[in-house]
Amino acid sequence: MRKTVLFICVHNSARSQIAEGLINALYSDRFEAVSGGTTATRVHPAAIKAMAEIGIDISGHTSKSIDVFEGRRFDYVVMVCDDKQADCPFFPGGKEQIHHAFDDPAACGGTDEEVLACFRKSRDEIRAWIEDMFVRGVLELAVDKFRFRFPVDLFYSDAGVWVRFEGSRARIGLSDFTQQRNGDVAFAEPKEPGTQVKRGNEVGVVETIKVNLSLPSPVGGKVVEVNGDLLNSPELVNQDPYGKGWLAVLEVEDAGTARNALMTAAEFMAQAKAQAEAEVLR
């Protein structure tokens, strides 16, 4: 069954229309997308032209208010406008709420060609994000000058440790948010293989240029493998936190129960967003 996606912005004229067109043209085997806004206006001619340049026809799209979707449920509701705008809409009928703000190309001034250049840029940025989010499955959060990534196939603890379940085993590491927040890693040492740890107890230590971290284990189980590359290359935790920078693998007794105690990428991203914005305001 295809997943349903509602893209929303203020006027349903540019960004949300482009996103709807991209999803339905490129990934209609997996997703069905619609879009709406605070008020119905028009589909911007430059949006139609920019999409036509890559072979996608949205000339038949119409601008709609999100009111027309009242009572419907969607797998994903994606807000593409700035949530600090007073008129940026919110739609409650989403199993998962996602926010990713894109600059409004309709706000560009200048000649027709200069405006079209803004729409091309927006089109390409939205397409790259859709590929990350819905094809490769990565959420992205921008706060101030920082950009954090959250793969959706992983689970996350309150302490910012990610978990990838591999059958009865759980591979763990520091999330991109956690490693950026704490600085360059100088030393990383998980517990030795064979060590039994309870959820919440220390599973390893990480020393950065800012702080020494005692990492609470996101799952209970026995350490069966550690990343030996970190002994000589602890910087892998910063360079590739979800890949070569993994910390350890634990054998868990009940993966289902362990999974239920953790956060999804969207839930952890919401927590990270609140923490990052609070720190920026200090």
Per annotation, catalytic residue among 22, 48, 81, 213: 81
| Cβ pair 245, 208 in contact under 8 A | no
118 is catalytic: no
81 is catalytic: yes
Per annotation, catalytic residue among 77, 88, 154, 170: 88
1/12 Cα distance (integer angstroms): 26
Give the sign of the dihedral formed by CA 236, CA 98, CA 135, CA 63: negative
Integer-rounded Cα Rg, in Å, for the chain is 21
> CB neighbours of 155 closer than 8 A, spacing ≥ 6?
162, 163, 164, 165, 218, 259, 262, 263, 264
Relative to beta strand 3-9, strand 74-79 is: parallel
Q: Give bridge partners of residue 185 from the DSSP assignment.
A: 208
What would the two tokens of residue 242 be?
């979800």
Per annotation, catalytic residue among 5, 8, 9, 22: 9
108 is catalytic: no
Contacts 24+ apart (CB under 8 A), 210-217: 210/182, 210/183, 211/182, 211/183, 213/182, 215/159, 215/161, 215/174, 215/247, 216/157, 216/159, 216/161, 217/161, 217/172, 217/250
The residues carrying an active-site annotation are 9, 81, 88
